[in-house]
Structure 1
Amino acid sequence: MTNLLKGKTILITGASSGIGEAAARLFSQEGANLVITARRLPELERVADAIRVRGGAALPIQADTTNAGEIQHAVEAAVERWGRLDGALNNAGRTQGGGRLAEVTDEGFDSVVDVNFKGVWLAMRAELNSMISSEISGGSIVNVSSIGGTVGAPGQSIYGATKAAIIAMSRAAAAEYGREGIRVNSIAPGATMTGMMTGWQQRDPGIIDRLGALAALGRVGQPAEIAEAAAWLLSDRASFVTGMTLGVDGGAAPWPH
């Protein structure tokens, strides 16, 4: 490891599996102190224990990003433990579960929007306020969007809309808080081997191979590869990068219709 994040205190939402778990493991190896959150505490504690065994520092806090009080508590815990919040990876999200736009129910719409859009906004609000109030100015936030926010993915109209909203919100926040030394970027992963992808494979056998075939690299991504991109954006090596969306998709073409 290169100590890319040495001494930084970073909050990761949705850290109990997939990209969030991979990011927690990588960021710790790169020297960060972590507050990791998720709704499922046993899985979260498993990730924290694995980090501690390797000498890392990880504080697991059960938190639902759609609950303003819970995510605020996580941010405050980071400041209480390590003095300040330097960065955040807002990764918690959920998929739509299929269905064309006219087939989506009110409940299905609300569940995706609440987690993927409102949840990111609530997390950013708490994180930005903490960074602004810190005696040491600056910070970096990375929000996890998706290739689904930039191209049309059948069966993912609401999911894609929330991921596009994350990109727009990140760019606006970058413009609003740049003079205070806070950078805000987003990453747009392509098809990645997470629990969401395996669930999609069960609903639509062969989708992993089909999506992989569309990428220039001829395969889907791994969570650790997405985490590497986020680590760089959170680090001081990306000090002049803000308001950007970094595609981490293996050179993907538009998804199949």
Structure 2
Amino acid sequence: MSETANGKVALVTGAGSGIGRACALTLAQHGYRVVLAGRRQAALDAVAQEAQALRGDALAVACDVTDAESVAALFDTIRARFGRLDVLFNNAGRNGSPVDLDEVSIDEWRSIVDTNLNGVFLCTRAAFGLMKTQNPRGGRIINNGSISAHAPRPNSAAYTATKHAITGLTKAVSLDGRKYDIVCGQIDIGNAATEMAARMARGVPQANGEIAVEPLMDVQHVADAVLQMANLPLSANVQFMTIMASKMPFVGRG
């Protein structure tokens, strides 16, 4: 068990698969009591069993981050079970259809904004209220940004807009949380090898119109980075971290 964790409580949204699963298991393995949140109870239960096999402590709670009542119920459960929250990893998110901007449906736009931005706000709002009143006071919020928080992919207006917005929210929470010992940082991830990024290995559109295969990195590197951010004392903060497959087209001209 990590001495820095020492039984602290961490909430991971979108914990049923991909980056959320990897981060939840790593946090549990290093001494965090982890709350796994997501829409699919069966997937969360499977991750909780994996965590317990690693001698970790995990609680699976079905939650739709786009629904204020569902988020409120999640935090009621956290209060009742643990009485506090030390780390929130806002990881839940979704992509959109890779179509021209005029072909993006209004319903899909709203769904992406609901998940990627409003969901992060609802969870952050609830965590902020708990962290500023608990004893000891304070906590850490980590937002899953994206390389798309810096530069868009072709045909990704909704996703890119929400990820740019997450950067603004991260800064605002970091500022507003100072007086309550609440810190907030952002991890921008590029091409972690998960089901969501599997298409990169098959070839994806580039800015010049070509289709190209992109390198991927082991998702465990992301989990290790989130653990590093989580383990910092509240007197220190990683404001922004970019972790990416070294040779993916981002730096320079691709």
Q: How far apart are the structure 1 equivalents of 2:241 and 2:179?
A: 22
The residue type equivalent to 2:138 in the other structure is G
Pick closer, same or farther for the CA change 1:88–1:186 going to 2, 3 Å.
Answer: same
Counterpart position of 1:215:
none
Q: CA deviation at 1:245?
A: 1.8
Aligned residues: 247
Q: Deviation string for 1:70-100 (max 9, x for gaps)?
A: 1222222222222211111010000113112
Q: How far apart are the structure 1 equivalents of 2:22 and 2:235?
A: 23
Normalization by structure 2: what TM-score?
0.90
Map 1:60-139 → 2, pairs under 5 A:
60-139=60-139
8 A contact 2:182–2:234 mirrored in 1: no
Q: CA deviation at 1:230?
A: 1.2
SS in 2 for 1:133: coil
Q: How far apart are the structure 2 equivalents of 1:10 and 1:3?
A: 15
Counterpart position of 1:171:
171
Structure 1 residue 151 and structure 2 residue 151: aligned?
Answer: yes
The residue type equivalent to 1:178 in the other structure is R
Structure 1 residue 235 and structure 2 residue 248: aligned?
Answer: no
8 A contact 1:4–1:231 mirrored in 2: no
Structure 1 residue 206 and structure 2 residue 203: aligned?
Answer: yes
Structure 1 residue 246 and structure 2 residue 241: aligned?
Answer: yes
8 A contact 2:204–2:213 mirrored in 1: yes
Q: How far apart are the structure 2 equivalents of 1:125 and 1:65?
A: 12
8 A contact 2:140–2:234 mirrored in 1: no
* Structure 1 gaps, min length 5: 213-218
Structure 1 residue 15 and structure 2 residue 15: aligned?
Answer: yes
Counterpart position of 2:208:
none
Q: How far apart are the structure 2 equivalents of 1:182 and 1:16?
A: 26
- The structure showing larger relative contact order (alpha-carbon pairs under 8 Å, at least 6 residues apart) is 1
Counterpart position of 1:182:
182
Pick closer, same or farther for the CA change 1:210–1:130 going to 2, 3 Å.
Answer: same
The residue type equivalent to 1:117 in the other structure is L
Q: How far apart are the structure 1 equivalents of 2:132 and 2:166?
A: 21
Q: CA deviation at 1:138?
A: 1.1
Instruction: Between 60-69 and 73-82, report the one with greater CA deviation.
Output: 73-82
CA RMSD of aligned residues (A): 2.2
SS in 1 for 2:177: helix
Structure 1 residue 221 and structure 2 residue 217: aligned?
Answer: yes
Q: CA deviation at 1:5?
A: 2.3
Q: Relative to total residues, which structure has the larger helix share, 1 or 2?
A: 1
Normalization by structure 1: what TM-score?
0.89
The residue type equivalent to 2:243 in the other structure is V
Q: Percent identity?
A: 30
Counterpart position of 1:58:
58
